[in-house]
Structure 1
Amino acid sequence: MTTYAPGQDSAAATTATGSLTRSADAVRSASKRAYLHHVDLIRATTFSLVIFVHCLTQTTDEFTSLPVNTTSLLLHFTRNTFFALTGFVLMYQNYEKTDFRATEFWRRRIKLVIFPYIIWSAVYWLVQKVWAQGRIAEVVSNPVHSLGEFAGLVGWGLSGFQMYFLFVMLQVYLLFPLVLFLVRATARHHGLLLAAALGVQVAITAAITYWQPPAPISDYWWHHYATFVPYQFFILYGAVAAVHRDAIARWLEGKGWWLFGALLVTGTIAAGTYLTGVWFRGQPVHDNDSAFYPYLLPFLVVAIACLYAAAAHWATHWRDFTPRFARAVSYASNRSFSVFLAHVLVLFFILKPQSGGQAWILETFGQPWGTIVAYVGTIGGSLLLVEILRRLPGSSYLTGRPRLPLPGRTS
């Protein structure tokens, strides 16, 4: 990495002060890592697909529909992409930092998640579990019990069905200094590190899928999805990829068809195994633990690699020729976390009006148009809500992103 060494002569105090200021600015500028535009495309694509899955499952009968559950099974790769991308970005930003300090890292990073997590957990609890269920009088009359209920939900990321992700992210941030130490300590043996993590991942997914925990721990066992444990391999997968990103970019060149073929093969194995289990072994159509099936692992690894390769190819070869798309990607990536926070609330109100015993939007448009309209409305409504929230005081607490200037004003 290029460094800056000031060579000005400090003959006068004022000149020295100006030189030191310019030098410090130069050091900060030079120490910044190059911006990775393909990360923006990965982030925007992943969040868009997650919102689609949520709209699909909320507008269909996910408990009995085989096509819906097969689609959801394959789109579980988005969940793991989140954690691989987090490991990638954090390692890219910090691997070569000689002055990395855990306390400073925690101070900067955790506040961007913990305040939105608590605020939005309260929003979802009040809207979906209090107001929508007609429990306002109950909550007001017994505030101590109500606060205990809310604390229990926050303790496992259960206020909104997407809030567990932020709960896991907090754990990842807390553990990242250990991950950084591990990746640095095994610098010459990253292949072995990933192999060991993959072995642990297979054991974890097998335990989740096939092991019946004893009664004393069964009440806690089902919260496994809200811990970092089932995602440890993908965090390291992204972290190691960040260290070897240049070699990976060279290796990926010209292998698009090979990757596509691997995606088809592993996807067929995953979907085929699931369908065989339903048709011939009495496996339930819907399983809350489907994201952790061991036979899904090869597809998850390949799907993440394919998305990374496609995004990197666009950023390297096509981004300069698609300026409008590039601006849209940048815009979507910048607001993706905020939209993720808000989209379940928007979807809730889209589906709230009822007609004929179901959501008005489904009664009116039918399927598949009801799902499509709900998806487009959720994306549009979430972006509109985020644009408002991003311009309010305390935007970083509400959205995890800095406040934007009001129209007609500069920042």
Structure 2
Amino acid sequence: MTSTTATRVSARDDAVSDAAPKPKAKRSYLHHLDLIRATTFALVIFIHVLTQTTDEVNSVGVSTTGLFLHFTRNMFFALTGFVLTYQYFGRQDFSTWSFWRRRIKLVLYPYVIFTTIYFAVKILLPQGRLSGDTKALGGYLWGGLTGSSSFRDFPAGITGTLKELGWNLGWGLGGGGFHMYFLFVMVQVYLLFPLVLWLLQVTKGYHAALLGAAFVTQIFITVTITHWLPTTSPWWHHYATFIPYQFFLFYGAVAAVHRDAITRAITGPNARYVGAGLVVALIGTATYALLAFRERLANSDLPPNASAGAFEPTLLPFLVTAIACLFTVALLWGERWREHTPRFARFVSFASNRSFGVFLVHVLVLYFVLGMLPHGENAWLIRTLPQPLGTAVAYLLTLVGSILLVELLRRLPGSLYLTGRERLPLPALRLPKRKPAAPAESQASAVTSGSRASEPTTAPSA
């Protein structure tokens, strides 16, 4: 009877276990993406330091370096497409609304917060408007609270400042933080990603055609941006829209879907031929981009940086190849060398974890490193140290200062919206404590004192 009951209970438990929803299988962590992320952010910070500490307009060398490092911004979007597709492609439980709620806030809040900070520090403060607007706002609030004036009488100067800030936010101008357009575009990418995911689903088996169509569209976009400018300024702010980066988003997304085949090609028996082909392609496309750049220089009266735009059609083959090369090197490290380089692996993990926060604050840190000047070429550091030492020191100081600032922000409330990462606990303060007496010593002491108390005060007589 007992055995039958136990069998029924066991069967019922098994049935309940089978009916219960199974936890989602967590996809494996791709460590090589950390190396891509850390490398890309480091290069972005470098080019920003380089252009702020040199004559970026008239220097051919700086313009050439900037031309090739334009691949970093496109690497960002290829990496984003790869990561999002790796996480969500093929998932039956994907929800557009849940995706938007979870993802958009991670870039929208930092975008608004840091655009406001850069606007205050790099625009209002140098112009002397920050203190004036602060006083006007304080007087307005005090007057409204005390009744000496009406809340309806809002200061006109602050109204103009808020409109200017709204213009910066609405067009991805960054308010003096020239890199904030990236977050503005990322919001658009997150809004459009469900459509990208749908396209990947309905074009299964035809992803090469999808990528080819995106590439042809990219050529048309870059030709339009480069050769059709109805005004002297980018009136439609193309750099702050997803349009010039659409191909790279699909580039990363398609690579994520076919990552197993790509991994086999890079690490398989034909790896050396794949590697050699990529090296030849990188040299060839870089040479083509450089020759085209030199030709533009020879046929233009404009300064060199005008010929080194990020959307030159002749640069496109190099961008595609450079992204593939960086991905290949990172994948080889992750698959073959990571286990044999534990210290470097820890460094890469740390750098990747802090990279987004460092990206957010590095322009602010660089601004103070260079003495809060409109252009760092005239900063004391750059005038004192010979080049390229001055740029190298400025880069090092910017990196260290940015990491220290991020470490501080990571421990503040709201860290998720200040650095893109969850808050870290504050280090605990440990006060020295008196060590209690060892049990053996206490017991020995008690035995000794007890025996002494029981001993007679005088020796027994013989």
The TM-score normalised by the length of structure 2 is 0.81
Aligned: 1:385 with 2:405: yes
Cα distance in 1 for residues equivalent to 2:61 and 2:207:
39
Of 361, 367, 374, the match for 2:394: 374
1:347 aligns with 2:366: yes
- Could you tell me which amino acid in structure 2 is paired with residue 264 of structure 1? I
Distance in 1, matches of 2:33 and 2:322, equals 15
**Partner Cα distance (1:40, 1:74) in 2:** 22
What is the RMSD of the two structures over their aligned residues, measured on CA atoms?
2.4
Distance in 2 (CA, whole Å) between partners of 1:138 and 1:222 is 33
CA 1:20/1:221 → structure 2, altered by over 3 Å: closer, same or farther? Answer: farther
Shift of 1:402: 0.5
Residue in 1 that maps onto 2:241: 227
Change (3 A) 1:333 1:119: same
Deviation of the 1:287 alpha carbon = 2.3
Residue number in structure 2 paired with 1:88:
82
Relative distance call for 1:288 and 1:93 in structure 2 (3 A) is farther
How far residue 280 of structure 1 moved from its aligned partner, in angstroms, is: 3.7
Shift of residue 277, structure 1, vs aligned partner: 1.2
2:91 is the alignment partner of 1:97: yes
- Judged with a 3 Å threshold, the aligned counterparts in structure 2 of structure 1 residues 389 and 198 are, in CA distance, closer, same or farther, namely same
Deviation at 1:276, TM superposition (A): 1.7
Which residue identity does 2:385 align to in structure 1? F
Q: 5+ residue gaps in structure 1? A: 1-8
Structure 2 vs 1, CA of residues 402 and 267 (structure 1 numbering), >3 Å: closer, same or farther? same
**1:5 paired residue number:** none
Contact 1:94 1:100 in 2 (8 A): yes
| TM norm structure 1 | 0.90
1:149 is aligned to 164
- What pairs with 1:273-284 in structure 2 (closer than 5 Å)? 273-282=292-301, 284=303
Measured after TM superposition, the shift of residue 182 of structure 1 is 0.5
Q: Pick one of 163, 181, 192 that aligns with 2:180.
A: 163
Change (3 A) 1:161 1:403: same
Question: Any conservation in 2 of the 1:39–1:311 contact (CA below 8 Å)?
Answer: yes
Cα deviation 1:381-401 (Å, max 9, x = unaligned): 000000000011110121111
| Corresponding residue for residue 320 of structure 2 | 301
Q: Which residue of 2 aligns with 1:136?
A: 130
Query: Which residue in 1 is equivalent to 2:154?
Result: none
CA contact (8 A) 1:130 1:136 kept: yes
1:219 and 1:280, CA in 2 relative to 1: closer, same or farther beyond 3 A?
closer
Alignment of 1:13-24 (within 5 A): none
1:27 to 20, 23, 26: 23
Deviates more, 1:103-112 or 1:273-282: 273-282
User: Identity of aligned pairs, percent?
Assistant: 56
Q: Does the CA contact (< 8 Å) of 2:32 and 2:334 recur in 1?
A: yes
C-alpha spacing 1:174/1:145, structure 2 compared with 1 (3 Å): same
Choose 277-286 or 65-74, whichever is displaced more. 277-286
Q: How many residues align?
A: 393
Aligned to 1:239: 253
Give the Cα–Cα distance (whole angstroms) in 2 for the partners of residues 250 and 348 of structure 1.
45
- Is the aligned partner of 1:312 residue 2:301? no
The answer to whether residue 212 in structure 2 is matched with residue 195 in structure 1 is yes
Which amino acid in 2 is paired with 1:329? V
SS at match of 2:396: helix
Distance across 2 between alignment mates of 1:289 and 1:258: 26
Partner AA of 1:86 in structure 2: T
Q: Does the CA-based 8 Å contact 2:106-2:416 persist in structure 1?
A: yes
Give the unaligned 5+ runs of structure 2. Answer: 1-6, 137-156, 430-462
How far is the alpha carbon of 1:288 from its aligned partner? 8.2
CA distance in 2 between partners of 1:88 and 1:210 (Å):
31
Give the partner amino acid of 1:386. Answer: V
Aligned to 2:354: 335
Give the structure with higher Rg (CA): 2
Residue 91 to residue 10, structure 1, CA distance change in 2 (3 Å): farther
Alpha-carbon distance in structure 1 between the residues aligned to 2:179 and 2:300: 31
Tell me, in whole angstroms, the C-alpha distance in 1 between the residues paired with 2:308 and 2:124: 27
Given residue 241 of structure 2, which amino acid in structure 1 is its aligned partner?
T
The 8 Å contact of residues 296 and 307 in structure 2, kept in 1 or not, is answered as no
Q: Secondary structure at the match of 2:305?
A: coil
Q: What is the distance in 1 between the residues matched to 2:93 and 2:16?
A: 25
CA distance in 2, matches of 1:353, 1:304: 34
Q: Does the aligned pair in 2 maintain the 1:277–1:283 contact within 8 Å?
A: no
Report the residue type matching 2:164 in the other structure: E
Deviation of residue 271 (structure 1)?
1.2
**8 Å CA contact 1:84, 1:234 repeated in 2:** yes
Instruction: Provide the C-alpha distance between the structure 1 equivalents of 2:216 and 2:393, rounded to a whole number of angstroms.
Output: 42
Pairs within 5 Å for 1:206-221: 206-213=223-230, 221=235
Is contact 1:353–1:360 with CA below 8 Å preserved after alignment?
Answer: no
Alignment of 1:244-255 (within 5 A): 244-252=258-266, 253-254=271-272, 255=274
Q: 1:180 aligns with which of 166, 177, 197?
A: 197
Task: Report the counterpart of residue 6 of structure 1 in structure 2.
Answer: none
Answer whether contact 1:62 1:69 (CA < 8 A) is retained. yes
| Aligned CA distance change for structure 1 residues 351 and 20 (closer, same or farther; 3 Å) | farther
> Are 1:260 and 2:279 matched, yes or no?
yes
Match of 1:363 among 364, 371, 383: 383
Establish whether residue 115 from structure 1 lines up as the match of residue 115 from structure 2: no
Output one character per residue of 1:80-116: Cα deviation in whole Å (capped at 9) or x when no partner: 0000000000000000211111000000001111111
| Aligned equivalents of 1:63, 1:33: Cα separation in 2 | 46
Structure 2 CA distance for partners of 1:144 and 1:324, relative to 1, 3 Å: same
Q: Structure 1 CA distance, aligned partners of 2:421 and 2:253?
A: 23
Deviating above 6 A after TM superposition, structure 1's stretches of 4 or more consecutive aligned residues are 14-18
CA distance, structure 2, for counterparts of residue 18 and residue 325 of structure 1: 47
State the 1:177 CA deviation.
Answer: 0.2
Cα 1:138/1:250, change in 2 over 3 Å: same
